[in-house]
A and B are shown apart, each in its own frame.
Chain A
Amino acid sequence: MNKSESIKATRATGPKYWRSLDHLADAPEFRKWVDHEFPSGAEAVTDPVTRRNFMKLMSASFLFAGLGMSGCRRPEEKIIPFARQPLDYIHGKAKHFASAMPTRTGAIPLLVKQDDGRPTKVEGNDSHPDSNGGTNSFAQASVLNLYDPDRATRFARNGDRVDREDALEAIRKVADAAAAKRGKGLHILADHSESPTRDRMRDRLLKQLPEAKWYEYEAIDHDVHRRAATVAFGHSVKPYYQLDEAEVILTLDCDFIGSEEESTLLMSKFAKGRKSDPEHPKMNRLYSVEALFTLTGAAADHRLRLPASAVHRVAAEIAAKVLSDPHFEKPEMAAIKDALVAHGGASGVDSGWISGCADDLKRHAGKCVVIAGQGQPEAAHLIAHAMNTALGNIGKTVQLLPVPARKGGSIGDLVNSLKSAEVDSLVILGGNPAYDAPADLDFVNAMEDAGEVIRLGYYEDESAPKNGWSLPAAHYLESWGDVRTADGTLTPVQPLLAPLFAGMTQIELLARLAKDAVFAPYDLVRETFKGVVGGKNENAWKRFLHDGFLADSAPSALTRVRLMADRVASGVRAANKLPVLGGNDYEVVFHPDSKVDDGRYNNNGWLQETPDPITKLTWDNAVLMSPATANKLGLDNMKGYRDGVHDKLYKESDGEVADFHDGEHNYAERGEFHPEVIELTLGGRKIQGPAWVVPGMADNVFGVALGYGRGYASESKGGTGRVGDGAGFNAYELRGADSLKHAVGVKVSRTGKRYQLASTQEHGTIDGRSLIREMNFDKFADKDSEYADFAKGMNMPHPPGMEELPNHGLAYENPLDELRKNATHSWGMAIDMSACLGCNACALACQSENNVPIVGKDQVTKGREMSWLRMDRYFSGDVNNPQMSHQVMVCQHCEAAPCENVCPVNATTHDDEGLNLMIYNRCVGTRYCSNNCPYKVRRFNYFDYNRRPLNDLYNSPANPWNRKDGEWELTRWVEDRSRGNVDDDQWDLLALARNPSVSVRMRGVMEKCTYCIQRIEGAKIAQKVKAGASGNVEVPDGTIKTACQQACPAEAIAFGNIDDPESKVSKLKAQARDYDVLDYLATRPRTTYLGRVRNPNPDMPDYRDTPETFKEWKAHGNHLAHHGHGHGDSHGHDSDHGHDDDHDKEHGEQAGKGGHH
């Protein structure tokens, strides 16, 4: 029993954030030190009454974590106060520790930044073998969860606070009782985990208590990949997709950019194949079959929209084509072929699409891959495996990794046991089954049939038992653990600070239940590690913690596997009985939300306010449907407001370009989103939600995101926290055990009610503007074609006579040119739109790095969200089957910045390295800079978002009735001007999540992307120190990564010195695809974009000879301009031509000279 364990954690007043620091604060050495360091604040630190002392104490928490060697946490779990500063501790200097964020099927390897003992930012660990340093939005936002004031902070029994010791005593009793009955009556429900230690603890527990029962449940089950592969190949394996090796990819309702658990990894590999090397252009091709419009569909070169229930039929048809090809026909797979032929054929999909796709797969045998998604039934996965096997992809693009088999029953089994009163003690490890279990199981009531429930949860939410104990779970950043990443590499989960609220880990609880002598998680993890590495492992352990992974611990892929043809065939035949959507029926698809996942991030404000990449909705989910479906239901948010110029231009253009304004939301155009609420009924269960039209969705399909519709936990029912309270509707209430992913036969009715939604983007089309520049690969790759230079060719031609001006067609000299001569660096950014997949990881990284506040739903409806980094999303083409394009929009750091010369107080200026600086202290808030910014990337603090609760923004601090904690706000303000009107407990915690290197902005000032100037300056200072007398102060390329760049799994963003021709960013900018957004304004942005290249297959029936955005641009009377070819006189635009591709050549010549140089 260690020291902290022995300290009794109770005190008469105040919360017990952690125990030892109280002691620490009482230690005379510490007091002396505090008196010395903070003469005026010493009383506050030692005053036990005020809750604010917590924050001050936190700043002392470096005592925990700052002691170790750089990069490796001091392994002893002792907390030793110091009288003198430790040798390697530098106040204010951040440290980084390797850790990992566990996911359902693995983990995201991380390097976590720690400022004075508190983790503030996570970044991907790029030295990890299964990571390129990318992360996803959840990982980025998980820091905020750590400091969530609404997380479970106490031990409770039947909803009432108890002492920790009492709870531990209760666990001991349960363990004793179980031990007495060999585990009979002990039932454990756990979430999915890839932790070897948890597996070990489980196995040990079940060995000791053989009668105990183990169940596993995840609301969104990603295990189907593993189950199907195990069925198909007869070993316990999981597929590991090498998308970087694949030239042709077919996804069967597999949103590997969004809702798949390993999306970060898959995106990084997929994006590699999208980045075209300018010398040897090459690009993968993505076919996507899907029901919703997902990011994968947006990235796809060919997208087939189909109800989710019909996807396996199309898969069967494609597979039948492949398997019946004499080239790939194998006698042992004949049974499968027969089953496929019997199965497919009913999808009604254009046979050209089927055969075109199948032919392309066949042409790339061994270099292609077929992936079925987590939402698809096992049959679709089996078909995919059959195709992959036939095409010889196994072992190449598809690796089969041996994995330990999952154990335990399903949640349905548990409910049966509960109902038959077999359960004396139910232990719930993580998850939130009372909220997200299938509705027909009625888990909430079943839970009450248990004798006693012990629930380890991160929140006191719906599953917090009314008949038992609620234990606070530790966040992964405050717990010891281990995990296997997707490839199986053993990876440590290291704590960055001691648990803020005495949280417990699953492994500790399991050890206590097993009456294990050792239950400190650290010891348990080391024990597992010892089991892997063996004997003397001190150095290996240190290396493990330092690196964040155990080298070569990934299992090697199985090479000699055989497809179990009979099993696959019977699986396919079984699928034949699955219901398929008929013409007038409706299907509902339950999908994990891009923001709150299955609901676990419901109380995370950063995620709630991040717009969904497709719908751009914040703070809510909606019933998504296609335009045709909405029309059929007569929902009037499809009747478009008609925009004069738009209609006109489109009417004049060729009919193929749909008039998107028919599909535009009436209310959306006016900034008010009040769609009608519709009711869905499935198996007697009903839910109501606002309708939202997504162009390009499959018809007759409703998409509903899970994870919303939770009330505030303080109400009797239990629920989420203050942030997530009231957001969206609960789709779990519709979902039954037989309809976990999607269901056919849902009934729909209109309610006539309306509901306000908050979307950050009101206009979804690009209106023929050349902001997004796209071209097809074959045209682009043809060097002789005019399209090879499409990106610059889409620049607006210069007016006649401008060319003769001395400054490259600009009327004035750029003052920065002179400054630049003496600058050490010239910072610039390039964003590759071919690689960018729109996943939002960058947006969250930016928010976390730069202390970007959230503003709440009400403010989002007024367009006041503060996001420095915006993901613009455009639809183009036919409203029923459009193409989608994404564009990351950040401050462009224009050399001739329009914002600068209009600021009356010099609050935004330029430095010689090309940064457009924003000086918050000088800003008075005229907002003129934002008005004059053509990219609209500046955000204004309309309220004191950082210091006032979001529901209190409109309240005046001078209002005498405005009291908080019994104190008039103005008095509070006088006492502590940094505190504002946030609840003290919220304030103390949220303040900790902030990056100390970035100022927190007050109300009334403008803010914007700085290119992460704190990182730039940090690197420059470090380089100066390093350079010493040598004077080499140029920061080497790659040293600085902006937060967005670092988080991007697709590596779409490059940042660096553009004066260095060898830097990555310079090389990207040198590519032909590089262009300036709004080139004609001559703002000379330092952020440039690389035009997106799509790679459609000309043999496909839905082949589009040019991307839709390009067509739209041409339909607006534009022509590609030639550059540097010195064509003759510039001609006027001839509007008789230009809507016909045949005229392109001619117009290319006519457009004459113009554009950039």
Chain B
Amino acid sequence: MSDHAPAIKLEAPPVELERERLVSNNRDLGEISDQICDVMERPTPLWWKICMVPALLLLSMLGAMVAYLVTVGVGVWGNQHPVMWGWAIINFVWWIGIGHAGTLISAILFLLRQKWRTSINRASEAMTIFAVMCAGVYPLIHVGRIWYGWWLFPIPNSNDIWPQFRSPLMWDVFAVSTYFTVSVLFWYMGLIPDLAVMRDRCKKFFGKFAYGLFSLGWSGSNRHWRNYEKAYLILAGLSTPLVLSVHSIVSLDFAVSQLPGWHTTIFPPYFVAGAVFSGFGMVLTLLIPLRTVCKLQDIITVRHIELCCKVTLTTGCIVGYAYFMEVFIAWYSGSSYEKYAFWNRAFGPYWWGYWAMIGCNVVVPQFFWLKSVRTNLWVVFFLSILVNVGMWFERFVIVVTTLAREFIPANWGYFNPSPVDIMTYLGTFGLFFTMFLLFLRFLPMIAISEVKAVVPQADPHHPLGGAEEGGHH
């Protein structure tokens, strides 16, 4: 290709106007492939083994806890009267919320042509899927009679009894399962070209066979690319409303009921913002160490981290606004029950949960206004963990403090988690990290083809693009 000059050649923009490159150090396409595939092709790294051991242990603990729960009863948790939902629902909502960043990055940012998404979307989508899996564990096991859990699905039966379609829990079933299905499809769709790359690079028979099987005969032909791009666009379009709908519907579990503190119309947007907030927090938590251990600093750059911080800041402010608005409306409603619910959150026996939430979700993101903070990865990593802690407390505040003290004072109670609650929660981390580590080891954690598409070398019209300046060597 080097024998003819490009037809049109744009002037290079002035240096001060040039955006920071999405892939730094001017890596060329081959190097990108090598870098990303290296994670899978190297002998199993030590850090991976070190991480896998506790992950598997925690996963076994989850299995043991679920077995114990199923054989003995929900009473092994701390749930009680009146707090009938405890950590199970908190963790369900928390994990679902975490999932949101992946879909937002892969679908919405795709539609909005945010090219920086390419470096992080694959891992984020994987995170979404695994988080939804963790979340999905809870609704299944939290019911009293797990063996009848299938009654929640609209399966025709001889008794002609259908699920109750007015129940938000029913909507949850549909919302979460749709979300999971579409997320998996979307993720897999995006993986196909990369699986083909892996197929082509793999030297072992089994790997070749497996990657070959799942790459569905991808040859990189134009026809394939055209179909792929269309399908990807369609799935992005399908996923986009799901980003908004899933957590909206999860929020309806609360908003549709009539407890003071739950029964508010602000919940759907506020939950979505919170979900994106926590999702980006988790993306940061995962990617900051990953880019180092996997030596992907060129592809996941500090600019990516900064952009994630900005999204976190934005959604954090939305969440903070929602907190304020809840309190305002409670006061404005004139209902003493509403007023009490919010006073109780802040100053009741669970005050620590409320202030942990405010501190982590409203105060912490404000640090992201500072570029010095955004670019200091240690600080960002620490703050991103606080964001996730804060969002856990948000769900705790919503679920527990509301139920513990609502209408009739004689009913008031105080919820204490049981060790089984805590160990089940830790166990879901085992599930999450086991899945994630397997993903890192066997699937390209960065969308190779997409990253290649956003480097200047891929664009023949780009001043830096084409073969002349760092294209194919």
A526 within 8 A of B: no
> What is the CB-to-nearest-CB distance from B5 to chain A, in angstroms, rounded to a whole number?
66
Interface residues of A in 953-992 (CB under 8 A from B): 953-958
Residues of chain A within 8 A (CB-CB) of B78 are 862
* A924 to B169 alpha-carbon distance, docked (Å): 12
Beta-carbon nearest neighbor of A901 in chain B: B166
* A927 to B168 alpha-carbon distance, docked (Å): 13
> What is the CB-to-nearest-CB distance from A239 to chain B, in angstroms, rounded to a whole number?
37
A934 within 8 A of B: yes
Contact of B164 among A903, A927, A936, A1080 (CB under 8 A): A903
Interface residues of A in 864-911 (CB under 8 A from B): 864-865, 870, 872-874, 887, 889, 898, 901-906
Contact A863 B73 (CB under 8 A): no
Interface residues of B in 411-450 (CB under 8 A from A): 411-416
Contact of B173 among A904, A1003, A1004 (CB under 8 A): A904
- Render A942-957 as a binary contact track against B, CB cut-off 8 A, 1 for contact: 1110000000011111
Contact A1004 B145 (CB under 8 A): yes
Contact A762 B413 (CB under 8 A): yes
B334 within 8 A of A: yes
* A1081 to B258 alpha-carbon distance, docked (Å): 8
B307 within 8 A of A: no
Residues of chain A within 8 A (CB-CB) of B259 are 931-932, 934
Contact of A1004 among B73, B334, B344 (CB under 8 A): B73
B188 within 8 A of A: no
Residues of chain A within 8 A (CB-CB) of B142 are 926
Interface residues of B in 169-190 (CB under 8 A from A): 169-170, 173
B54 within 8 A of A: no
Contact of B410 among A648, A864, A889 (CB under 8 A): A889
Contact A942 B73 (CB under 8 A): yes
Residues of chain B within 8 A (CB-CB) of A783 are none
Contact B84 A940 (CB under 8 A): yes
* A670 to B405 alpha-carbon distance, docked (Å): 11
- Render B241-280 as a binary contact track against A, CB cut-off 8 A, 1 for contact: 0000000000001001111000000000000000000000
> What is the CB-to-nearest-CB distance from B158 to chain A, in angstroms, rounded to a whole number?
14
Cross-chain pair count, CB within 8 angstroms: 215
Interface hit among A8-16, A272-280, A766-774 = A766-774
Contact B257 A936 (CB under 8 A): no
**Residue in A670, A902, A1077 whose Cβ sees the most chain B Cβ within 10 Å:** A902
B382 within 8 A of A: no
A573 within 8 A of B: no
Beta-carbon nearest neighbor of A672 in chain B: B414
Q: Given A641-B349, A643-B348, A905-B163, is A771 in contact with B408 using a C-beta cutoff of 8 Å? A: yes
Residues of chain B within 8 A (CB-CB) of A557 are none
Interface hit among B146-154, B281-289, B361-369 = B146-154
Contact A904 B145 (CB under 8 A): no
Interface hit among B6-14, B204-212, B335-343, B459-467 = B335-343
B228 within 8 A of A: no
Contact A670 B349 (CB under 8 A): yes
* A935 to B348 alpha-carbon distance, docked (Å): 21
The size bracket of the interface on A is 35 or more
Residues of chain A within 8 A (CB-CB) of B146 are 1004
Residues of chain A within 8 A (CB-CB) of B75 are 859, 862, 864, 942-943, 953-954, 1003
Interface residues of A in 1072-1118 (CB under 8 A from B): 1077-1078, 1080-1081, 1116-1118
Contact of A906 among B164, B334, B413 (CB under 8 A): B164
Contact B412 A905 (CB under 8 A): no
Contact B82 A936 (CB under 8 A): yes
* A654 to B10 alpha-carbon distance, docked (Å): 80
> What is the CB-to-nearest-CB distance from B263 to chain A, in angstroms, rounded to a whole number?
10
B45 within 8 A of A: no
Beta-carbon nearest neighbor of A935 in chain B: B408
B346 within 8 A of A: yes
B56 within 8 A of A: no
Contact A928 B414 (CB under 8 A): no
> What is the CB-to-nearest-CB distance from A641 to chain B, in angstroms, rounded to a whole number?
7
B125 within 8 A of A: no
- Render B63-83 as a binary contact track against A, CB cut-off 8 A, 1 for contact: 000011001111110111111
> What is the CB-to-nearest-CB distance from B417 to chain A, in angstroms, rounded to a whole number?
11
Residues of chain A within 8 A (CB-CB) of B349 are 641, 669-670
Contact of B144 among A768, A902, A1003, A1118 (CB under 8 A): A1003
> What is the CB-to-nearest-CB distance from B412 to chain A, in angstroms, rounded to a whole number?
4
- Render B321-334 as a binary contact track against A, CB cut-off 8 A, 1 for contact: 00000000000001
A540 within 8 A of B: no
* A765 to B340 alpha-carbon distance, docked (Å): 14
> What is the CB-to-nearest-CB distance from A1075 to chain B, in angstroms, rounded to a whole number?
15
Contact A931 B257 (CB under 8 A): yes
B403 within 8 A of A: yes
**Residue in B170, B257, B343, B411 whose Cβ sees the most chain A Cβ within 10 Å:** B411
* A954 to B164 alpha-carbon distance, docked (Å): 33
Residues of chain A within 8 A (CB-CB) of B337 are 769
Q: Given A926-B143, A932-B257, is A905 in contact with B164 using a C-beta cutoff of 8 Å? A: yes
Residues of chain A within 8 A (CB-CB) of B256 are 901-902
Beta-carbon nearest neighbor of B253 in chain A: A928
Contact A903 B144 (CB under 8 A): no
Q: Given A872-B410, A904-B152, A905-B151, is A928 in contact with B169 using a C-beta cutoff of 8 Å? A: yes
> What is the CB-to-nearest-CB distance from B430 to chain A, in angstroms, rounded to a whole number?
21
* A763 to B73 alpha-carbon distance, docked (Å): 28
Contact A763 B412 (CB under 8 A): yes
Interface residues of A in 617-675 (CB under 8 A from B): 641, 643-645, 648, 669-672
B409 within 8 A of A: yes
* A1077 to B407 alpha-carbon distance, docked (Å): 10
Beta-carbon nearest neighbor of A1082 in chain B: B258
Q: Given A762-B412, A796-B335, A1078-B407, is A863 in contact with B82 using a C-beta cutoff of 8 Å? A: yes
Contact of B162 among A644, A771, A906, A942 (CB under 8 A): A906
* A865 to B340 alpha-carbon distance, docked (Å): 26
Beta-carbon nearest neighbor of B337 in chain A: A769
Q: Given A863-B82, A898-B258, A934-B258, is A955 in contact with B412 using a C-beta cutoff of 8 Å? A: no
Contact A931 B151 (CB under 8 A): no
A1005 within 8 A of B: yes
* A673 to B436 alpha-carbon distance, docked (Å): 44
* A679 to B86 alpha-carbon distance, docked (Å): 39
Q: Given A669-B349, A671-B416, is A902 in contact with B169 using a C-beta cutoff of 8 Å? A: yes
Contact of B148 among A765, A924, A930, A1116 (CB under 8 A): A924
Contact B169 A958 (CB under 8 A): no
Contact B411 A936 (CB under 8 A): yes
* A1005 to B147 alpha-carbon distance, docked (Å): 12
Contact B408 A936 (CB under 8 A): yes
Given contacts A904-B169, A936-B81, A1133-B334, list 19 more A-B pairs with CB under 8 A.
A644-B343, A648-B343, A669-B349, A769-B337, A863-B413, A901-B164, A905-B151, A906-B164, A925-B74, A926-B143, A928-B167, A940-B84, A942-B73, A953-B72, A954-B76, A956-B71, A956-B72, A1078-B408, A1116-B336
Residues of A at under 8 Å CB distance from B? 641, 643-645, 648, 669-672, 761-769, 771, 796, 859, 862-865, 870, 872-874, 887, 889, 898, 901-906, 922-928, 930-932, 934-936, 939-944, 953-958, 1002-1006, 1077-1078, 1080-1081, 1116-1118, 1133
Residues of B at under 8 Å CB distance from A? 67-68, 71-76, 78-85, 142-146, 148-149, 151-152, 161-164, 166-170, 173, 253, 256-259, 334-337, 339-340, 343-344, 346-349, 403, 405-416
* 29 contacting pairs across A/B (C-beta < 8 A): A644-B343, A644-B344, A644-B346, A645-B344, A670-B414, A672-B414, A763-B409, A771-B409, A863-B83, A864-B81, A872-B410, A904-B167, A904-B170, A905-B152, A924-B152, A927-B144, A931-B84, A931-B85, A932-B257, A932-B259, A944-B73, A953-B72, A953-B75, A954-B76, A958-B71, A1003-B73, A1003-B75, A1004-B73, A1004-B146
Which 9 residue pairs of A and B lie closest in terms of their CB atoms, listed nearest first?
Answer: A925-B144, A1004-B144, A644-B347, A942-B75, A671-B414, A645-B343, A872-B410, A927-B84, A863-B80
